[in-house]
Amino acid sequence: MTPDTAATCAGLTVEELEALAGISFDTILHGVKIGLYDDGWLISRNPLRFHERTVALIQRTLPLLDQVAAGKMTMERFHAILWTVAQGGPARLVEYLAPPSNRAVQAMLAGRASQ
């Protein structure tokens, strides 16, 4: 296997992403078409290969659709959250999905108390 071949074999195929994330092939391709995966989630366009953290992106944002279905969130809000996380790319996924640090919560609360 040459270095070029190894590079194209890295990442997840559409089929692997579909199976691991639990969304349809068509939904994944639609996301590719509209640029959802452009910020580092898509490793290769030919053949299509996705960053391994794309599974976590999808799995962590899909429950928000349940909130939309239950009327607890608008679809516009869901899209805003999804695009914010997607534009951060795989390197910032943990930062976006992690609960706020205690220091950040304390700073927020201190700011509210002084207002």
Domain ranges of the chain: 3-114
H helical segments located in the chain = 3-9, 14-21, 25-34, 54-69, 75-88, 93-97, 102-114
* More reliable by pLDDT, 107 or 56: 56
* More reliable by pLDDT, 1 or 87: 87
pLDDT beyond 70 at 4: no
Residue 115 is predicted with a pLDDT of 45
Q: Is 0.85 surpassed by the pTM of this model?
A: no
Cα–Cα dist 27/114, whole Å: 46
